[in-house]
Amino acid sequence: MKLKNMYSSKTFVFILIFLRFFIFSIPAYSQLLHWPESIVYDSLYNRYLVSNYYTGSIVQIDKEGIQSPFVNNMNATQGLAIVDSIVYCGCDSTVRGFRLSDGEQVMNLWVYGVNNLNDVTSDNDGYLYVTDVYGTKIIKVYPQTQTYSVFVQGNGIYNPNGIIFDEDNNRLLVCSYRPNFPIQAISLTDSTVITLLETELDNSDGITIDEIGNVYVTSWETNAIYKIEPDFSNPPELVYYSAGGPADISYDEVNSVIAIPLQNYNSVDFLPITYTEIQEGLYKNDDLINIDVFPNPFTFLTNIKFEIRKSSHINLKIIDSQGKTIKLLHSGILNNGSYSFQWDGKVFSATHSANGLYYCILQVDNRTLTKSIIFKHLK
């Protein structure tokens, strides 16, 4: 049974715990990575492939974190998708394919009437779908015959950037490089377009989906990644921040991480996704109301509020991306009621200067809730 199907059952609830760490020993800067744009995991050869906007090359990163050329100077600057033994790339007005075994080019398909072919995804039949980021088109590519058609033009599609195949719903999910970009769905049955969620975020580069249907999108406005629940009923939740500029992300289900090209830093990073299985009934809405953190991001002071409906042992702390506790806000018994604690950024910045993502951890008896917080140090 797929995890996606288990998500909809009443037997299990899944909690996502986000702890940022490096899977491979990727250096902060590399001569090979230069404006990395897109990244995919190649399970056949146990490596990551990264396209580079500046050089047009694809770099491979092995399990030891060692980088080496895979495809050199082939204008392979945009999104990547692997189908069978071929990696495909959006390259301005062409879609190119390279054999995984040796990097040999096996497809160079020119697409007329497009502005900039960007991200690529594939369906279960091996067909490719490519976004025209400065236009209004989604192109469908047939690799076997090396031909294409216009799958969608207009109908609400404008500056489409990231694209991912949503297998459970037989549709494509699209984010766009524009202000207040929506999350849109395109039916593979009839090409109809609907808006799943309006956001207040700007200029999205990448979109991906995990094993239980959570969707993740990037924003160049905030240099962050946001999680959206499978039913699209709640606003995007911030789960990752880096001034390095997260670009076209992808979910690697083998290692259970989101792979992140950091374009400004010429490096890559990884966000682990862990699913914890809990019996139904352990989490009760009448016992605990979720954490509220405001303002977020913050510089000087942020307020952490929550409510409990029964007397409980409470631990409230702030940890960094490595899991180290940097501030214990409370530890002990609290009676039922509403509580507010403050994290003082002025005191914190006196001894720390690290901007970025932190986590507020609220432990209530044997339950744990996690909330992401961005701290912006004022220099």
Q: How many CA atoms lie within 13 A of 149 on its CB side?
A: 6
Q: Are residues 99 and 62 in the same domain?
A: yes
Residue 17: pLDDT band with limits 50, 70, 90: very low
Domain boundary among the residues 276, 310, 341 is at: 276
Domain-embedded: residue 181: yes
pLDDT tens per residue, range 322-357: 777 888 999 888 888 888 999 887 777 655 656 777
Check pLDDT > 80 for residue 210. yes
Q: Are residues 293 and 264 in the same domain?
A: no
Tokens of 326: 């940097």
Residue 277: pLDDT band with limits 50, 70, 90: very low
Q: For 147-200, give the secondary structure using H, E and C.
A: EEEEEEECCCCCCEEEEEEEHHHCEEEEEECCCCCEEEEEECCCCCEEEEEECC
CATH of the domain at 60: 2.120.10.30
Q: Are 40 and 250 within 8 A, CB to CB?
A: yes
pLDDT of residue 320: 78
Percent of the chain scoring above 90 in pLDDT: 55
Q: Are residues 267 and 301 in the same domain?
A: no
pTM of the model: 0.71
Q: Are residues 243 and 328 in the same domain?
A: no
Q: Are residues 123 and 155 in the same domain?
A: yes
Q: How far apart are CA 116 and CA 179, in angstroms?
A: 19
Closest listed residue to residue 87, CA positions, set 43, 117, 54: 43
pLDDT tens per residue, range 96-152: 999 999 999 999 999 999 999 999 999 999 999 999 999 999 999 999 999 999 999
Domain-embedded: residue 350: yes
Closest listed residue to residue 256, CA positions, set 204, 212, 219: 212
pLDDT tens per residue, range 227-274: 998 999 889 989 888 888 999 999 998 888 899 999 999 999 998 886
Q: Where are the alpha helices (DSSP H) in the chain?
A: 3-7, 345-351
CATH of the domain at 314: 2.60.40.1930
pLDDT of residue 349: 63
Number of domains in the chain: 2
Domain-embedded: residue 281: no
Q: Are residues 219 and 85 in the same domain?
A: yes
Q: Are residues 177 and 41 in the same domain?
A: yes
pLDDT of residue 14: 37
pLDDT of residue 338: 86
Q: Report the DSSP beta bridge partners of residue 39.
A: 50
Domain-embedded: residue 184: yes
pLDDT averaged over every residue in the chain: 84
Number of neighbours of residue 186 by Cβ within 10 angstroms: 24
Q: How far apart are CA 330 and CA 361, in angstroms?
A: 11
Tokens of 324: 């180290």
Domain boundary among the residues 276, 310, 326 is at: 276
pLDDT of residue 308: 83
Domain-embedded: residue 96: yes
Residue 360 CA, distance from chain mean position: 20
Domain boundary among the residues 239, 255, 276 is at: 276
Closest listed residue to residue 356, CA positions, set 372, 371, 375, 377: 375
Q: Are residues 178 and 314 in the same domain?
A: no
Q: Are residues 301 and 236 in the same domain?
A: no
Domain-embedded: residue 235: yes
Domain-embedded: residue 7: no
Q: How far apart are CA 357 and CA 377, in angstroms?
A: 12
Q: Are residues 23 and 151 in the same domain?
A: yes
Tokens of 325: 């506790």
Q: Are residues 209 and 98 in the same domain?
A: yes
Closest listed residue to residue 120, CA positions, set 4, 27, 38: 38
Q: Are 130 and 95 within 8 A, CB to CB?
A: yes
Domain-embedded: residue 308: yes
Q: Are residues 119 and 232 in the same domain?
A: yes
Max avg pLDDT among 92-101, 311-320, 362-371: 92-101
Check pLDDT > 50 for residue 2. no
Check pLDDT > 90 for residue 362. no
Check pLDDT > 50 for residue 283. no
Tokens of 288: 């605990």
pLDDT of residue 12: 33
Query: Which residues form the domain of 54?
Result: 16-276
